[in-house]
Amino acid sequence: MIAILSTISFLCTGLYLSVVIYLIKGWSRIKTPAISGQPLTTKLTVLIAARNEEEKIALTIGDILAQDYPAHLFEIIIADDHSTDRTAEIISSYADRGVRLLQLRDEKALNSYKKRAITEAIKLSTGDFLVATDADCRMGPKWLSSIVDYYQSNNLVMISSPVSYFGERNLFERMQTLEFSYLIGLGAAFIGNNHASTCNGANFAYRKDIFYEVGGFKGIDDLASGDDELLLQKVAEKYPDRIGFLKKRDAIVYTDAKPTLHDFLQQRRRWASKSIKYKDKRVVAVVVGIWLFNVTLLLNALLGFYNVYFFNMLLVQFILKFTFDMLFLIPITSFFGRLKLLCIMPLICTVHVIYFIYIGIMGNAKKYDWKGRNVR
């Protein structure tokens, strides 16, 4: 038994370290682009799907209206997804400033309300380039101009840009910020390695004609989530060399960490649920391998109470995981200006084992709550 578990632990650890090395290389390959200096001429549409966001949507709209991008070259379309609060009323109050409200009126129940909201907003759009964000996000004044400058200078069809949590109020939210930085870095690294697989819909841009060319959300509209990375994967099949990650601070979009453990786990289960639709099964295999690596960590921790050999193996695994994760996260947290978060890495590495195993099981096991709905 010891020999078998040792072999499995060794193989899973080797896989995990190989993946992190791959990610380190991918992140390092992405360079911060210089400002091209060319005129910004792209007509774009900012897309937002909103549901019950009365507390924050005015801040988001205000930030977008304050962009330094030429006002005559962009429009804002916000699809109100059956809100039961004052969201639609707040959006309507900006009508004289060019903000367009689209109110969904679906009589029959759907599973993918957000994809429908985005699709209907795209039908109304007049821009050739679409920039999607969420209704609870904040951004600086150069957000749009930095994205479009990158787009125009590199002949891209799709751009993933950075997202970060901010304004944390406690240790739990700071832990989320560090873990989320890892996820954003992971998506960027895959793009840097020319193997786009994941991104975040809070800061996601693509050409409108490409959206229709790949059939929009057709084929992935049976899941509530996936308006971002499942679409990314569809585009990556046809244009693997024309997807970029914008590693630039001016392009960062900021949002809030989840206030409670329940909200956090529901969000992560939603994200994990998309994996069953991944077209590249090699990515799925890698995710399963990483899940098994975490399982071996837990098994070695439990079996260590019966045989100290397993504690020793756990110690080796944990040190290697911690070291390589740090090597990956140092440049990422430096980019976000959040290096101080690394002081909680020992805690993150420990808690993450249980969390990752749980999400791997529950993410594909049953429905979850999202915006007051129970979906899958």
Query: pTM to 2 decimals?
Result: 0.93
Q: How far apart are CA 326 and CA 113, in angstroms?
A: 38
* DSSP line for 304-357: TTT-HHHHHHHHHHHHHHHHHHHHHHHHHHHHHT-GGGGGGHHHHHHHHHHHHH
Mean predicted lDDT score pLDDT of the chain = 93
Residue type, 113: Y
Confidence bin at 370 (pLDDT 50/70/90): low
Taking 60 as the threshold, does the pLDDT of residue 376 lie above it? no
pLDDT in tens, 79-128: 999 899 999 999 999 999 999 999 988 666 666 789 999 999 999 999 99
Which residues does residue 370 pair with via DSSP β-bridges, in sequence order? 373
**Over the stretch 142-181, which tens digit does the pLDDT of each residue have?**
999 999 999 999 999 999 999 999 999 999 999 999 999 9
CB 270 within 8 A of CB 368: yes
Q: What is the per-residue pLDDT for 315?
A: 96
Does 5 score more than 90 pLDDT?
A: no
Question: For residues 285 and 45, what is the distance between their CA atoms, to the nearest angstrom?
Answer: 37
**What are the structure tokens assigned to 293, written together?**
């690596």
Percent of the chain topping pLDDT 70: 95
Q: Where do the structural domains in the chain lie, given as residue ranges?
A: 2-26+280-370, 32-260
Sign of dihedral through CA atoms 359, 287, 348, 29? negative
pLDDT tens-digit readout, 8-20: 999 999 999 999 9
CATH code: domain 32-260 is 3.90.550.10
Q: Sheet holding 138-139: strands in order across?
A: 138-139, 253-255, 163-165
The crossing angle, in degrees rounded to 10, of helices 261-273 and 171-192 is 20
Contact assessment for residue 10 and residue 114, using Cβ atoms and an 8 Å cutoff: no
340-360 pLDDT, tens per residue?
A: 999 999 999 999 999 999 998
Q: How confident is the model at residue 232 (pLDDT cuts 50, 70, 90)?
A: very high
pLDDT at residue 273, rounded to an integer: 78
Between 207 and 2, name the one with better pLDDT: 207
Torsion of CA 16, 271, 65, 69, to 10 degrees: 40
What is the Cβ-side half-sphere exposure of residue 309, based on CA atoms within 13 angstroms? 7
Question: Most distant CA pair in the chain: distance in Å?
Answer: 72
pLDDT at residue 365, as a whole number: 64
Nearest to 230 by CA among 104, 118, 71, 86: 118
